[in-house]
Structure 1
Amino acid sequence: MMEIFQKLFYTDLGTAVNNTALLIFRILFAWELLTVHGLKKIKQSQEAEAEQIPNPLHLPEKLNAAVAQFADTIVPFFIALGLCGRLAILPTLGVTAVGYFVVHRHDSPQVRDIPFMYTLCLLFLLMTGPGAYSIDHFIYQLLINIR
């Protein structure tokens, strides 16, 4: 069990330059996700007319809205902090992948571009982890010392 946690939390990319670049990437990506998509959902939920969130998987409406709001408002904080990085991005990765492969599958490349780029960025973070300048890295160090 300890080995699974270590694999989830191992995040060091080897050099300070790589880890700094990943930190900057994480923070800018999280900021963009929160300000462009998340804040719009928060503002819309406070107004009388809510944003129409696509539901191509035909989930219950409240569940669909909750997943989309969580993915765009809460997950960016996890990404920026590097907290449970690989696990935390899964809801947002699901939302963007569904947006690309299902909602916009018949749209032009210009329309499909945004969910495609978000999906690529999230896959990149899933594979690399958040880097050495993250809470996950400190958790990994603790797990190594416990072992």
Structure 2
Amino acid sequence: MKDLGLLFLRISSAILMMTHGLPKFQKLISGNFEFGDPIGIGAAPSLFLAVLGEFIFPILVIIGFKTRWATVPPIITMMVAAVIVHGADPFNVKEKAVLFLVAFISILMLGPGKYSLDKK
């Protein structure tokens, strides 16, 4: 059951994260680079990094490819969201970012389980 639990955690967390990353990905490919600049690197690079963390790397987490490494960009993205973007907001506003952060840190620590490309 442990491996099925890890599979469920990987797939559900990554799919839910991708629902937030897909609009950003669509914005990026349409050429609209209007986005916040929470870490001072510019709107376009910030959008690109958010797309990586919320859309591209979660795909790798779903299939279980380089899973531990693939959790790092979503973890960093959610740290920025929770601490910088929503740092002054009440907890209920930053709660979603914290929940994603906890889920991806758990995947990093536990690994992908046997139902993954990493274990094939």
Residue of structure 2 equivalent to 1:105: 87
Which is higher, the Rg of structure 1 or of structure 2? 1
The CA deviation string for residues 63-111 of structure 1, in whole angstroms up to 9 with x for no partner, is 2221111112211110101100111111111010011111111101110
* TM-score computed with the length of structure 1 as normaliser: 0.74
Q: What RMSD, in angstroms, separates the aligned Cα atoms of the two structures?
A: 1.7
Are residue 27 (structure 1) and residue 8 (structure 2) matched? no
Residues 66-75 or 120-129, more deviating: 66-75
CA deviation map 1:26-69 (0-9, x unaligned): 111111111x21211133335575552x3221114332221111
Number of aligned residue pairs: give it: 120
Match of 2:27 in 1: 44
Structure with the bigger RCO (C-alpha within 8 Å, sep 6+) is 1
Is 1:62 matched with 2:17? no
Unaligned runs of 5+ residues in structure 2 are none
Render the CA deviation track for 1:107-134: whole Å, top value 9, x for unaligned: 0111010111011111101100111111
Alpha-carbon distance between aligned partners in 1 of 2:110 and 2:67, rounded to the nearest angstrom:
10
Aligned match of 2:73:
91
Contact 1:85 1:126 in 2 (8 A): yes
Structure 1 stretches lacking a partner, 5+ long:
1-16, 139-147
Label 1:63 to 1:45 Cα distance change in 2 as closer, same or farther (>3 A): closer
Give 4+ residue runs of structure 1 displaced > 4 Å after superposition. 46-51
Return the alpha-carbon distance in structure 1 between the equivalents of residues 26 and 38 of structure 2.
Answer: 23
Per the alignment, residue 71 of structure 1 pairs with 53
